[in-house]
Structure 1
Amino acid sequence: MKTQLLIICLILCSVFTYAQKKEDENIVRKKIVITKTSSSPKIDGILDDSVWQNAPIATGFIERSPNNGKPQADSIKTEVRILYDDTGIYFGAQMYDPTPNKIAKELTERDGVGNDDFFGVALNGYNDKQQSLEFMVTAAGVQFDAKLTTDGEDDTWNSIWYSGAKINEKGWSVEMKIPYSELRFPKSNVQEWGMNMFRRIQRIKASYDWNFVDNAKNSYTLFDGVLQGIENINPPTRLSFTPYISTYVNSFDGKTTSNFNGGMDIKYGINDAFTFDMTLIPDFGQANFDNSILNLTPFEQQFSEQRTFFTEGTELFSKGGMFYSRRVGGEPSRYPTTSENEEVTEYPAKVKLFNAFKISGRTKKGLGIGFFNGVTQKMEATILNHETGEVRKEVVEPWTNYNVLVFDQRFNGNSSVSLINTNVTRNGDFRDANATGILWDINNKKNTYKTFGSLKGSWVMDGETKFGTKGELGVEKIAGKHRFNINGNMTTKDWDINDVGFSTRTNFGNYNAWYGYRILQPTKTLNNMYLNFNINYFHRLEPFIFQNIIFNNNNSFTDKNFRVFGGGIEFSPLTQNDIYEPRTFGRHLKVPGYFDSWIWFESDSRKKLQYNFEFDYYAFDEKGRNQIITNFGLRYRFSDKFNVHWTFNPSFSNNETGFAGKDNNDIFIGRRQRNTYENALTSKYTFNEKIALSLTFRHYFSDVTYKQFYTLNQDGSLAETNLFDKNLNGTYNAWNVDLRFSWWFAPGSQLTLLYRNATSNYLEFSRLNVTKNYDMLFSEPTVNNFSLKLTYFLDYNRVKHWTKKKAKG
């Protein structure tokens, strides 16, 4: 079967490549030739510098949404002046607006976009329509930057550049300086870059671009214009240091501890294309808390990455979903082996990261290369022998090396082939692992159809070698009103990338067909409409068994008042065979078919008060069995500086069945009731574009009550039993409060003061009333943490300039 899949993949890729047509000549690329300035403008948002007077002007913006292709009206026209010098490129933009008092200008933290007008630039130094760097400024003066590729927008990337914004009698204006050190372009005396510029007018929710972007296609980068005129520049050395110092005071269960840390991040431009990033003695103590839950599934809970080093510039490393950075510095891989009289008194919750670096970039021929390396320290547990009083240490995680290597070749405007390899090597007799994947995503020249797929293998060495495979193949129409996708994928039982990646379901085949319809221009009543229809078929590979077939329809609409709403249905008409819940290879649990329906609504985000709700109801083909999932949200913007957002998410599952335990003879299944409530509150007061105060609160409560226990029959059915008498009823609470003060006192430099309060508990009983539950939660020891962290950005060129001035003085 694996050989047949490989042959099909190769044939389909060859046919698709052979069938590619000439590039769509309807895509017109605007051009602008800019000039060099001998004196730089003051970056304050006021276009009164004399250097702007004779600068080339880009205008004639075209609406992207909601009215795709409509020229921008003169009353709201956009004019952008562009210059360059030996250090960087400058943009001076005037956004005309007849009602300056109505310009949306909500203050947010850096990289945040709220209820804002904004102006931005996308620059592609290699002019290949595949990779751009985005620089955007809101009318409130807040910076946003991101990497933009054909895969989407990576807003975790951060850059050091300069901007200013001002509201004026004509509307509002922006000045930007983007240093060459933050851009990527080839070494050439004459530069030709891809460029687009964009503007948002929030009160009418309209987006405009300098070079027309056709919304019938699926990629923004395809529609770059051309920037010419930059000649004979000498890019500076790209080298920067970001040292930090931090201090923590922790109080828990009557004990107070403190510690002081220091370290550094280093960034070095190896050449025009590649960058070296390194973190030495990293400190991630101020990362956001994880939203933990009561997890009764067969799989571990996946948490999002909160650590800055692992979130910035990761678009290459995320290819193929084979790298889950939370594994680096995650939980130890072993638990100590103890004798009858021994007890583990200390066990490390996390493994310490010693250092990590990454090298990434893309050549002018479209080859992206990424290499990541991380080293974690040896961690030990402490074990006490109660009989002898002896205390011993046992290694639960040795010194460990993590590697990720990625090659990603882009070609023909919007196609790519990628090779990914991940490797984990642990010292001693601990488990090692390796995984390799080949991915392809090949579009025709008109970017209307594509074929995609992957072939992956995993090797785990833990006494013996375990080898698993995963493969996918599909074809998709990606342009126009009517779109579709047909794909299939298979994962063998020994597929395992959990040493450096994240995988859950294995030993299955899945085949999916999808059809979607959308409108490309507004109608009398709607600005947008998306209709999707899906069918999914699942089966177990070894030994073969039908798992499930699911039909799905989901729909989304945006009306003329910019209210967004939708709903859908999903049903599984046949009894499902759940091969994971029994947690035993070769066994399955029968689950009745279901009918699911849902609706959702989100009010106009321009209003001070915004609200949303969702109601989702599952009705199973079994008496008394159902599931209700609801979400409610309110956000109130008191002013452009202060807003509060509250969410409440209750859910209820009645008469569900799930794994309860097993012995040498039987697998036990329990019938249970689950009630879950999640409350979260986020409020922010932003003093200006550099200083903000935020409060984040979350309380999660979930209880489970078991009603009846069964033994699992070989055919997946259940038989009532009295053999299982364990108490599995439980209540889980998680409480977190973060109060954060953040000050960006200089470009790339930040002072952060954080107060954190957290507690949690798990009770071996359920059905508590609210008062009793809170009394028991707050009787638990509570973590109180105060931390102060200072990071300071040092650019090599600026330091060199300071040194020269001091020497001359």
Structure 2
Amino acid sequence: MRLPIAFLLLLNSCFLFAQEQDTIPRKKITISRVEEAPKIDGILDDAAWKNAAIATNFVERMPVNGRQIPDSLSTEVKIIYDDLGIYFGATLKDPEPSKIMTELSERDNIGASDFFFILLNGYNDRQQSMQFIVTSAGVQYDAKMTNGNEDSSWNAVWYSEAGITEEGWIAEIFIPYSELRFPEKNLQEWGLQMEREFRRTGTRYSWSHVNNKKGSFSLYDGEIHGIKNIETQVRLSFQPYISSYLTNYAGDTEMNFNGGLDLKYGINDAFTLDMILIPDFGQTKFDEEVLNLSAFEVQYEENRAFFTEGTELFTKGNLFYSRRVGGAPSGRVTLSEDEILEEYPSTVDLINAVKISGRTADGLGIGFFNAITERTYAKIRNTETDDQRNQLVEPLTNYNIVVLDQRFGDNSSISFINTNTTREGHFRDANAAGVYMDLTNKANTFNYSAGAEGSWVVREDTEFGAELTARITKNNGKNRFQTGVELRTKDYNINDLGYSSSTNYVSYFAGYNRRLLQPKGILNNMFLNLNLQHMRRLETDLFSRFVLNFNSSFTTKDFLNFGGGFETTPFGTQDIYEPRVEGRHFDIPSYYDVWVWLNTDFRKKFAIEGVIDWYKYDEKGRGDLIIDFGPRYRFSDKFTVNWFTNIRLNDQEEGFVDLLQDDILFGQRDRNTLTNSLGSTYIFNNRTSLNLAFRHYYSEVFYTEYYTLQPNGELDFYANGNEDYDTTYNSWNLDLRFSWWFAPGSQLTLLYRNAITGFQDQSHVNFGDNFQYLFEQQQLNSLSLRLSYYLDYNRVKSWLAPKQKAPANADALGASYRERKNNPLLKLSF
């Protein structure tokens, strides 16, 4: 423990002495209020734009950092505001308008198209901004950007139109205040950044110059002034839904109907309440399941929108793995001699969930999350009497998270997070807490971070575990480095509401990287990285491994991306996890790993990506070969097809097989894995799409010899081995989805789903027989329809209010300002 404590002291002393001043100049624009809001139609001919403030003088960010934008690509952005929100009208010149790239894509995807984006930071703290992008094809993309890291799971309701002109293209955007966060005061000062992508040359131009020599992207925000005395409306919205499912499985056909409601309420200008009542996750993306032979569970991606949107506060410290909420039951089944397990549920039903989050004017972020899941039972049958009984495997459970995150300076914060899982009855409970520091010096050249976490798991006794981390990073110039330490005790366990795998270790690491700051020769950019890691077991002390890794990335001026790397463990690995028994370890010989990768220019109709990765162990006949290959073809701006193949061949791999009465059984095995994925999208327009997603995963395991693991970590031949552990596993998923965003925030989705899973206790099954067996298994066929509709309180209120007579010369989209204020959607075209 001495070295980690000394390292924390070193971090503190470095921070105290790194206080040099460096002021980043900020570009500013002052905007004015309008009484007559413009119509959002992609044409800047409304009177409201006549006297608008204009943002100009964009600067190239990449590939040539700091060069002025050429006159042929002159970019001007008009900005105005009213009591409803803020408006942007961007005129983006192009010397050849007929060549503007305009690939259509689904919402929150950017294809081969030009785009314009806006970053707004209501607290002007240079740390978190709301990002709004509109492409030249009119597709919307939104995200939250925190210290340069983008979270595209956040979805907002805003309005935009794009149009091609004789001189280039235009983006017209309206962002309601309801989608922004800012302090409650008369005079607002927000952070602002704007950028355009000129896709034909892969060039980015930003309004406020971003110096790529140091610091994060968000440090270079400009400022927007002039917004004052705004009368923000009630921030209350509802999203009711109805859904219907027709499902066929194992010869049984079911039809059911669901209905529910999501609610979003602005408690004040800073804090928002999100609530989900009667959840429905039947149309979420399928999990990419695999045959898992490792010592740790597979961590799957979260696809439920409620758990991905607006959760950046709750993910601090990585104590929250949202798949725990409504995931697999935690209890085990107890069977008598005459009983068999008839059905064990794979998930737990969610009753409801709520989250409250926001940030005060002083930079204090506060988050609260709570979810409750239903009691869940396994079905057990008596083989003699045929009687059935239910056994509780997950009781009524409450999940709770509290977060405090204080920001200060330009790019620093101190955070606290606590997670708690409380189960009804005598099931296990758990609690975890963490404190984190993230400091950047005033010159924005060094970052210092540290964290301390504790976990408490309550069964019959309470188990306590801890994690400590510390890191120093030099983040400026061509040459950069980082060094740090991470420690986890044996009983560290956050798996009731978080995800942790390896424990009982201390890891020391250091890295050096070199990058190009400006194009040179044939290269637009280059990254060279060298990393070292030394890892040991804590209790009892044992060398685990030493890793040397070098990796590289290059992009040419023709946008060919390629790279490669080398990794080795020169002293081998003493693996403390593979034996599955505390206090034991398994010796893995040293290896070297060499890989290369290539991505061609994705601006072109045909593009490919590929990887070849080869491991060679210091053991005769043992090695791994990994091949990835993914071609993509864009038939038109509406129709794209992509294919991805992954091949993994593991020869004479050695790993855990089973726990015998007195021994730990290991085996030498050949494992062959093949994954094929097909994706195809047809975009009718920027609101309607048809999407096909297909994946077939195949993995076979063939054991050649069996061993028992000795106390010294070596293997001894096991003469009584057999082939009962050979396995072939298939997973087949197909989703065909039609989506229609028929109004802002409102969507209709029709989904057909087909899924099959197959296990065989044998290997070396030929291709034809394997598929014959797979299609003999029970198939899930499901057809579902889901309709959700976004309702803003102010819009509903306007429906119920007495109708006002419009001026004689006004039509429905040209109403007076007061009418528009009462009905904020009246002025918008769709």
Please tell me the TM-score bracket, short chain as reference. Answer: over 0.9
What are the Cα deviations for residues 276-306 of structure 1, in whole angstroms up to 9, with x where unaligned?
A: 0000010000000000011110111110001
Aligned to 2:623: 626
Alignment pair present for 1:724 and 2:713: no
Aligned to 2:371: 374
Shift of 1:362: 1.4
Aligned to 1:321: 318
Aligned to 2:201: 204
Shift of 1:552: 0.7
Shift of 1:611: 0.4
Aligned to 1:120: 117
Asked if the contact 2:671/2:701 (under 8 Å) is kept, the reply is: yes
| 2:532 paired residue among 525, 532, 535 | 535
Alignment pair present for 1:510 and 2:507: yes
Asked if the contact 1:120/1:197 (under 8 Å) is kept, the reply is: yes
Shift of 1:793: 0.3
Aligned to 1:663: 660
Aligned-partner residue type, residue 13 of structure 2: V
Shift of 1:272: 1.1
Alignment pair present for 1:707 and 2:708: no
Map 1:358-437 to 2 at 5 A: 358-437=355-434
In 1, Cα distance between equivalents of 2:89 and 2:562: 38
Q: How many percent identity over aligned positions?
A: 52
Asked if the contact 1:121/1:195 (under 8 Å) is kept, the reply is: yes
| 1:165 paired residue among 151, 154, 162 | 162
Aligned to 1:274: 271
Aligned-partner residue type, residue 88 of structure 1: G
Specify the SS of the correspondent of 1:203.
coil
Asked if the contact 2:11/2:472 (under 8 Å) is kept, the reply is: no
Asked if the contact 1:668/1:724 (under 8 Å) is kept, the reply is: no
| 1:444 paired residue among 441, 444, 454 | 441
| 1:608 paired residue among 605, 612, 616 | 605
Aligned-partner residue type, residue 695 of structure 2: R
Shift of 1:131: 1.5
Asked if the contact 2:705/2:721 (under 8 Å) is kept, the reply is: no
Aligned to 1:21: 19
Shift of 1:116: 1.2
Map 1:339-350 to 2 at 5 A: 339-350=336-347
In 2, Cα distance between equivalents of 1:642 and 1:125: 38
What are the Cα deviations for residues 193-225 of structure 1, in whole angstroms up to 9, with x where unaligned?
A: 111111001110001111001112231111111
In 2, Cα distance between equivalents of 1:190 and 1:134: 22
Specify the SS of the correspondent of 1:687.
strand
Map 1:114-263 to 2 at 5 A: 114-150=111-147, 152-263=149-260
Aligned-partner residue type, residue 787 of structure 2: L
Aligned to 1:794: 791
Can you give the 5+ residue segments of structure 1 that lack an aligned partner in the other structure? none
Aligned to 1:457: 454
Shift of 1:17: 4.1
Shift of 1:545: 0.9
Aligned-partner residue type, residue 31 of structure 1: K
Alignment pair present for 1:569 and 2:586: no
| 1:690 paired residue among 687, 710, 717 | 687
In 1, Cα distance between equivalents of 2:661 and 2:409: 59
Shift of 1:343: 1.8
In 2, Cα distance between equivalents of 1:725 and 1:149: 54
Residue range with higher mean Cα deviation, 559-568 or 362-371: 362-371
Specify the SS of the correspondent of 1:805.
coil
Asked if the contact 2:4/2:485 (under 8 Å) is kept, the reply is: no
| 1:264 paired residue among 237, 261, 265 | 261
In 1, Cα distance between equivalents of 2:249 and 2:280: 20
Shift of 1:313: 1.0
What are the Cα deviations for residues 758-801 of structure 1, in whole angstroms up to 9, with x where unaligned?
A: 10101000011111111110111111000000000000011111
Map 1:275-294 to 2 at 5 A: 275-294=272-291
In 2, Cα distance between equivalents of 1:344 and 1:547: 40
Aligned-partner residue type, residue 532 of structure 2: I
What are the Cα deviations for residues 564-601 of structure 1, in whole angstroms up to 9, with x where unaligned?
A: 00001111111211111111111111111001100000
| 1:804 paired residue among 789, 801, 806 | 801
Aligned-partner residue type, residue 430 of structure 2: A
In 2, Cα distance between equivalents of 1:231 and 1:605: 44
Aligned to 1:66: 63
Aligned to 2:761: 764
Shift of 1:23: 4.2
What are the Cα deviations for residues 134-166 of structure 1, in whole angstroms up to 9, with x where unaligned?
A: 111000001111111116111111111111000
Shift of 1:749: 0.3
Q: TM-score, normalised by structure 2?
A: 0.96
In 2, Cα distance between equivalents of 1:559 and 1:264: 50
Shift of 1:347: 2.2
Specify the SS of the correspondent of 2:13.
helix
Change (3 A) 1:650 1:84: same
Shift of 1:20: 4.3
Aligned to 2:809: none
Can you give the 5+ residue segments of structure 2 that lack an aligned partner in the other structure? 807-830
Asked if the contact 1:16/1:444 (under 8 Å) is kept, the reply is: no
In 1, Cα distance between equivalents of 2:544 and 2:370: 40
In 1, Cα distance between equivalents of 2:708 and 2:188: 72
Shift of 1:632: 0.2
Aligned-partner residue type, residue 509 of structure 1: V
Specify the SS of the correspondent of 1:778.
helix
| 1:646 paired residue among 618, 622, 643 | 643
Residue range with higher mean Cα deviation, 614-623 or 30-39: 30-39
Aligned-partner residue type, residue 391 of structure 1: Q
Asked if the contact 1:240/1:796 (under 8 Å) is kept, the reply is: yes
Asked if the contact 2:703/2:723 (under 8 Å) is kept, the reply is: no
Alignment pair present for 1:579 and 2:571: no
In 1, Cα distance between equivalents of 2:792 and 2:60: 39
Alignment pair present for 1:41 and 2:38: yes
Aligned to 2:545: 548
In 1, Cα distance between equivalents of 2:6 and 2:615: 41
In 1, Cα distance between equivalents of 2:163 and 2:70: 22
In 2, Cα distance between equivalents of 1:473 and 1:14: 10
Q: How many residues align?
A: 806
Shift of 1:456: 0.6
Aligned-partner residue type, residue 448 of structure 1: T
Shift of 1:390: 2.9
Asked if the contact 2:126/2:410 (under 8 Å) is kept, the reply is: yes
Aligned to 2:99: 102
Alignment pair present for 1:299 and 2:296: yes
Aligned-partner residue type, residue 202 of structure 2: K
In 2, Cα distance between equivalents of 1:198 and 1:107: 20
Aligned to 1:752: 749
Aligned-partner residue type, residue 139 of structure 1: S
Asked if the contact 1:110/1:144 (under 8 Å) is kept, the reply is: yes
In 1, Cα distance between equivalents of 2:49 and 2:701: 67
What are the Cα deviations for residues 329-367 of structure 1, in whole angstroms up to 9, with x where unaligned?
A: 001111221111112223222100000010111122211
Aligned-partner residue type, residue 355 of structure 1: N
In 2, Cα distance between equivalents of 1:662 and 1:231: 70
What are the Cα deviations for residues 8-59 of structure 1, in whole angstroms up to 9, with x where unaligned?
A: 52x345434433435422x221111111111011101111112212211110
In 2, Cα distance between equivalents of 1:232 and 1:420: 35
What are the Cα deviations for residues 397-426 of structure 1, in whole angstroms up to 9, with x where unaligned?
A: 110000111111111111111111110000
In 1, Cα distance between equivalents of 2:143 and 2:659: 50
Shift of 1:244: 0.5
Residue range with higher mean Cα deviation, 388-397 or 318-327: 388-397
In 1, Cα distance between equivalents of 2:200 and 2:116: 15
Asked if the contact 1:62/1:70 (under 8 Å) is kept, the reply is: yes
| 1:739 paired residue among 736, 739, 758 | 736
